[in-house]
A = this chain, B = another copy of it.
Amino acid sequence: MAGEKNKEKLILDSAVALFTTKGYQATRMEDVAKNAGISKGLTYFYYKNKEDLFMALTKKAFDQFKDEFREVYKSNGKSGLQKTSDLLIRICAFAKRNQVYYDSIINFLDLVKQYNNPETREMINPLILKSSHFLKLLEVHQDPAKIGISIVIQGQKDGSIRPELQPEITFFAIWSMIIGYEKMLGPIEFEGKDMKVYPENWEPGFLKLMADMLKGTIQATKPATVQGSLF
């Protein structure tokens, strides 16, 4: 029937909604089920356990995240440099629109860090390690990065990004900046009152700095004359 959405998806959507409102820890599997209009037991039929559900959610987040990268990559009539700032803007929009997805991605980065360090790997909840979604994530989680690197290369080809930069390192620097930027949004808004940094200035200022970094700027001696628009 029409309204008979796939149950698996129903559960996931319910989880997203509740994780957003109450957070992962505070959300009970029973609530996820109830909110999805199904029974608790069925939830465990589709997802082995809470961690598995969260990993499924993370996987979906990565897929959508990848789409953002892909769309920026494919956008026409823009320089590679412009695409990097588009990327930052889109990712922040993505984070705002779907905080849980974004958080799950960041959480996954932490997980990967633990996973890569043999000393800390055993501290990871075994249920996570056993999750099929986690394993898939390990395989695909570089995909956004790969696209990002391509964007940098595009920028170097079209001359908007300095050719001497190493694309991989450059992209990861950009991604770092984006991650940090998003984390910074909270404190900055707060400190605004006595610190002259208002969200309004912060975004363009940050983008400008990133652009400077990527395209290079005329040394202080003679003032930069060209970059009238943002870049």
Cβ contact within 8 Å between B186 and A116: yes
Q: Check if A142 is an interface residue, CB within 8 A of chain B.
A: yes
B162 touches A220 (CB 8 A): yes
**How many residues of chain A are within 8 Å of chain B by beta carbon?**
81
Asked if B168 and A196 make an inter-chain contact with CB atoms under 8 angstroms apart, the answer reads yes
Task: From known contacts A145-B191, A210-B213, A220-B163, infer whether A176 and B183 are also in contact, taking CB-CB under 8 Å.
Answer: yes
Q: Once the chains bind, are B216 and A112 in contact (CB under 8 Å)?
A: no
- Identity of the chain B residue whose Cβ is nearest the Cβ of A165 in the assembled complex: B209
A150 CB to closest chain B CB, in angstroms?
Answer: 12
Interface centre among A145, A146, A184, by most chain B C-beta atoms within 10 angstroms, is A184
At the interface, yes or no: A123 with Cβ under 8 Å from chain B? yes
Binds B, one of A1-9, A36-44, A127-135, A223-231: A223-231
Q: Take A169-B205, A180-B177, A185-B113 as given contacts and tell me if A217 and B217 are in contact as well, using a CB distance cutoff of 8 Å.
A: yes
Contact, CB under 8 Å: B220 / A164:
yes
Interface residue ranges, A against B (CB under 8 Å): 21-23, 25, 79, 81-82, 85, 106, 109-116, 123, 141-142, 145-146, 149, 158-160, 162-166, 168-170, 172-173, 175-181, 183-191, 194-197, 201-202, 205-213, 215-220, 222-224, 226-227, 229-231
